[in-house]
Structure 1
Amino acid sequence: MDEQQLKRDVDAYVDEIWEDAVEDIRTLVKIESVEDRAHAEPGKPWGPAANVALVAAERIAERLGLAVTDLDGYIGYADLAGASDACIATIAHTDIVPLGLGWNFPALDVTRKDGYLIGRGVLDDKGPFILSLYAAHFFARRVEATGEKLPYTLRCIIGNNEETSMGDVPVYLERCGEPAFCFSPDADFPLICGEKGITQGQFRTAEAAADGRIVELDGGTVANAIPGLATALVRADAAALPAAENIEVEPAGEGLARISAHGIGGHASMPAGTANAIGLLARYLLDAGLVDDASRAFVELQRELTEDTDGTHTGIASCDDKFGPLTCIAGTVRTVDGHFVQTIDSRYPTSTTGDAIAARMGELAAAHGCAYTKLEDKVPFYIDPECPEISTLLTTYSEYTGKKAEAFCIGGGTYARKFKRACAFGPHENNSDEPAWVGMEHGADEGISEADLKRALKIYIVSIARLMQLDLESK
């Protein structure tokens, strides 16, 4: 393989197809592909909107010369057949988290501004998914021109349920087995070789609490995001309530007031710089004397859960040398059948377990008149950063960026944790000069640099070419 010629060909290819790639990203971003199991049906297990995105992605893959297989709407994949049936795979997803509040740009469209793309999914993960298809398309064109197959089958797995349960991957593995190696373009460069364990659970008041002074609590969108907004409907005179920073009070009918707490949202795994609106609301309710005996224990629990994000206050703090410290955030609060329900999301290192966290949360629940239920638990994931596949990806990244490339671990959860030999590989770069109006994944005004996306596509193509030269079938 003449690598210098390969890189020249890749440069020309990316320039040629870039506008088409942006339009394909736009096609997917326009679909509000949030999981909706309440309206699931055969062939659409994650709901109708998620399926629209899956089918649209499959049609794009077909247009780019790949052979598409849909696994009953759970997940799909697009192949470029190789000399071996063993697969080098990418996996990205077409589902998104809910839009949330605070957008300054259209959430369901791609806005191009000063070299950035803005819109829900441009970073997580519709933009990177389109990159994976165009990486495969590069090789499809070469195979068509030369008639020479790749050593391994190149497969782009089209996920459709990453943001909630990752229930799509078990279906894929049951029917298709493990790829020889897989990377997910769904995180940060240089490369993620490990992911903390993830456990989620919920507190529920044992007795109905919404008959008291607090009528309703509502905050957050999903358990794995720090809420930027939380509200309470209370029995009170709005005009008599005290003013407070980041708190908005308005009348809500006779004898009722609605209190809105405005925080700074973000991803559950990266709580630095956020302000949990549920905690802001709980403190206001307590300070303003709006909490009666029926709800006091629960609101005090909310305050405790939001005192910090490393679990110190709740007694679950833990740390190890690979993954660093645990994180724990309060994600959503709801009023369900008169009961208050609060979710938490904790990302934990190998020095503790999901069961240990659940046991401690059960003790807190009992002390605050609640029941605690563990909803899910995913154990930590780790792949040796010295293995040939990881070394290949890191070397390619360094060549294109001029940066020292070292694999690292995160608190987020990607598809990589579902496979035996996998990692998460870009495309996001932590740029200190990024404009303040560019939002993060799961937040308002989610955005990513077009230059970073272009470079990522080049890195992916050259990395795949090099992976094709490794002996992967003997592993």
Structure 2
Amino acid sequence: MNLQEKVLNYKDEVVKHIQGSVQIKSVMEPAQEGMPFGEGPAKALNYFVELGKNLGFKVINYDNYATTIEFGEGEEVLGILGHVDVVPEGEGWDYPPYSGAIVDGKIYGRGTLDDKGPSVISLYAMKAIMDSGVKLNKKVRMILGANEESGSKCMDYYFKTLKMPQPTLAFTPDSTFPVTFAEKGIVRIKFKNNYPTLKDVSLAGGNAFNSVPERCELNISKEFLGGLEKALETYNSNKEFKIECVEKDGIYHINSYGKSAHASKPSLGYNSVSALFEFLKEVEIKNEELKSLVEFFNTYIKMELDGKSLGVNFEDEESGKLTLNIGKTTLKDGVLEVCVDIRCPVHVANDKVITNIKEKAEKYMEVEVAGNTAPLYVSKDSFLVSTLMNIYKDITGDKEAQPIAIGGGTYARSVTNGVAFGALLSSQVDNMHQKNEYLEIDKIDTLLKIYVEAIYQLAK
């Protein structure tokens, strides 16, 4: 029986359920009773619960933190880890971000790539094997979480609080092909400060640590700034992404525009928050607290993506350069909070990065460590990496491919023997965490073949 041919019979159902799953807005919200991450993530998790049951799998929902969908027998377990939550949609979509609209052979919607689409595809790869009756020596267990984008508290609950067993080996379809053998360490910092004289000033940019902010808005009294028109003309004369200003009732409404991207790849975006402060250094500032804030940004942040001015521009041979992203930034009622996402090379200690930042920044800001996640490293020669690499090469024909290191963080860190495996092919545009996220329908064939073969080879 040819599993790669059999799995293609499910393609129409795959498309339907990718559409159905992305139509649920599953951004993290305040907890409700029985919904630890809010209503949306719980609804999305239960979409997969019902789908798994309807497909004939054994399904267990763990208090809307996570769910398992499994089949097969054996003491050992192959784990497939996916997530149903998504980052906020942002602005400027050509098609509604929770529509699952199909246009020109593409399914549009937040989560089509990250990670509902790959989770649906993997589930149907499991279905094809289960229905074929082929004999496996391991159970196959999909573990779906509802909080990957906001700290993976779902996996902490599943593995640490409930003490559920670790899979023998595992992969997560939540990165790019071929195989991710290393994931950088992740440090999240909050710069905080109080500015009593800026209580009537508001600043809002971005919506998450792990996204490059596409737009930033500063609303400020006209009397705080001088020379604005000239500064705008000079600044915008040679910039692709502009600063705009409208004055109304004595208030300047200043908008900075950029381009969104995943924080692990900040070079693919353009940071509107950093750009705003770069612009403000050209303006005459008539408030000492605002002057201090602008000085902080233009001394230690600038438009840098490697943290050089904070003394953390480290790199190593296997995973490359450190990246630093200013994510969500707010100033409200005189209280500033700047959320910083840092991806650290695997052979550089996270704590060294934290120490260096504190030494530089603490004279300006309170420095709070909001996250500190160790890197992941699995040998390129391991059974898991080498098996998945061979599958990828055989099905795609890409014989020159090599395992990769990434700045992204995946559920592979939550298991003792796991890696990220796809689901982004080299021929696809990486628009995860960006507007107009989409999955080409004609790529689903290749993905189904890869995942059905991976499950079979790892579990047989």
TM tier relative to shorter chain = over 0.9
Residue 272 of structure 1 aligns to which amino acid in structure 2?
S
Identity of aligned residues (%): 28
- Taking the TM superposition and a 5 Å limit, the aligned residue runs for 1:25-424 are 25-36=18-29, 38=30, 40-82=31-73, 84-143=74-133, 149-174=135-160, 175-211=163-199, 215-236=201-222, 241-242=228-229, 243-244=232-233, 245=236, 246-252=242-248, 254-290=249-285, 292-303=287-298, 304-368=300-364, 370-404=365-399, 405-424=401-420
Q: Is the 8 A contact 2:19 2:107 kept in 1?
A: no
Higher relative contact order (CA 8 A, sep 6+): 2
Residue 284 of structure 1 aligns to which amino acid in structure 2?
F
Q: Is the 8 A contact 1:95 1:161 kept in 2?
A: yes
Pairing partner for 2:431 from 422, 440, 444: 440
Structure 1 residue 240 displacement after superposition: 7.7
C-alpha distance in 2 between matches for 1:306 and 1:167: 32
Structure 1 residue 452 displacement after superposition: 2.4
Q: Is the 8 A contact 1:306 1:329 kept in 2?
A: no
After superposition, the Cα gap between the structure-2 partners of 1:281 and 1:89, relative to the gap in structure 1 and judged at 3 Å, is same
**What is the number of residues matched between the two proteins?**
446
After superposition, the Cα gap between the structure-2 partners of 1:352 and 1:391, relative to the gap in structure 1 and judged at 3 Å, is closer
C-alpha distance in 2 between matches for 1:191 and 1:411: 14
Structure 1 residue 439 displacement after superposition: 6.2
User: Helix, strand or coil for the counterpart of 1:356?
Assistant: helix
Pairing partner for 1:453 from 444, 447, 458: 444
Q: Is the 8 A contact 2:7 2:448 kept in 1?
A: no
Structure 1 residue 116 displacement after superposition: 2.5
- Structure 1 alignment gaps of length 5 or more: 470-475
Residues 65-118 of structure 1: CA deviation (Å, up to 9, x unaligned): 111001111100101032x13211101100000001121121112232333222
Structure 1 residue 336 displacement after superposition: 4.1
Alignment correspondent of 1:473: none
Residue 214 of structure 2 aligns to which amino acid in structure 1?
G
Structure 1 residue 327 displacement after superposition: 0.6
Pairing partner for 1:10 from 4, 17, 33: 4
After superposition, the Cα gap between the structure-2 partners of 1:336 and 1:149, relative to the gap in structure 1 and judged at 3 Å, is farther
C-alpha distance in 1 between matches for 2:38 and 2:262: 23
C-alpha distance in 2 between matches for 1:387 and 1:240: 61
- Structure 2 alignment gaps of length 5 or more: 237-241
Q: Is the 8 A contact 1:305 1:329 kept in 2?
A: no
Pairing partner for 1:21 from 14, 20, 26: 14
C-alpha distance in 2 between matches for 1:13 and 1:445: 28
After superposition, the Cα gap between the structure-2 partners of 1:357 and 1:239, relative to the gap in structure 1 and judged at 3 Å, is closer
Structure 1 residue 209 displacement after superposition: 4.7
Residue 374 of structure 1 aligns to which amino acid in structure 2?
V
User: Helix, strand or coil for the counterpart of 1:266?
Assistant: coil
Residue 102 of structure 1 aligns to which amino acid in structure 2?
G
Residues 405-454 of structure 1: CA deviation (Å, up to 9, x unaligned): 321110000000111100000110232xx6xxx66100000123223232
Residues 222-267 of structure 1: CA deviation (Å, up to 9, x unaligned): 0111111111001118998423431121234x21121000011111
C-alpha distance in 2 between matches for 1:296 and 1:58: 53
Computed over aligned residues only, the root mean square deviation of the Cα atoms, in angstroms, reads 1.9
